[in-house]
Structure 1
Amino acid sequence: MALVEITVIPLGTGSTSLSDYVAGCLKVLEQSEGVKYQLTPMGTVIEGDLPIIMGIIANMHEQPFLAGASRVSTTIRIDDRRDKEGTMESKVLAVQNKIIRPGGTD
């Protein structure tokens, strides 16, 4: 299972606000099957099979053009671990379990 972080940046929109474009990209994800995703302040993390995610990314990249952007810059980071299954939650928990909390254990 792969974890992919994607940031889609529409350019040439005539506005500094991008939330409408982000919403359009998230609609692509909502209509996709076989993946989980989490919106973050600076991008979106997608969890699933890499070939499926890559198709979704192509559709997300296209979305701002359909909404009137004249240029789109998309950044993708892929974490594709094959020796064991990793999820968004398991990666966060692995770090949290190593943090020593006052009055607790690590």
Structure 2
Amino acid sequence: MAVVEVTVIPIGTGSASLSAHVARCVQVLHDAREVKYQLTPMGTIIEGELDRILPLVRRMHEVPFEQGTGRVVTTVRIDDRRDKTLTMAGKVSAVEEKLKK
């Protein structure tokens, strides 16, 4: 199980607003159903099997091009832990527990 952060940035859209582009990219995850995801103010976190996530990231990267954008910058960070189950909630919980001490 992996936790992946992805940020897709269309360049040269003619507008300072990106929310419509973000919504179309997140729709890829919404339609996938095999992964969990969480939209954040600065990107999207995806939880699932890496073999399933990477093709979805590729699809998200393509969405702005399909809308006529000429350049897209996509940033991907992968946290892939093999010694125990890794989840978005577990990562947050681990930090919150340490804050209580």
TM-score band w.r.t. shorter chain: over 0.9
CA distance in 2, matches of 1:30, 1:98: 32
Give the alignment's Cα RMSD to 1 decimal.
Answer: 0.7
Q: Confirm or deny that 1:22 pairs with 2:19.
A: no
Whole-angstrom distance in 2 between the partners of 1:98 and 1:88: 16
Unaligned runs of 5+ in 2: none
Runs of 4+ in structure 1 over 4 Å off: none
Q: Are positions 1:89 and 2:60 aligned together?
A: no
**Distance (whole Å) between structure 2 residues aligned to residue 56 and residue 73 of structure 1:** 16
1:8 match: 8
How far has the Cα of 1:27 moved from its partner? 0.6
- Pair member with larger Rg: 1
Per-residue CA deviations over 1:37-89 (Å, capped at 9, x if unaligned) read 00000000000000100000010000011112110000000000000001000
CA distance in structure 2 between the partners assigned to 1:14 and 1:87 by the alignment: 37
More helix by share: 2
Give the Å deviation of 1:33.
Answer: 2.7
Unaligned runs of 5+ in 1: 101-105
TM-score in terms of structure 1 length = 0.93
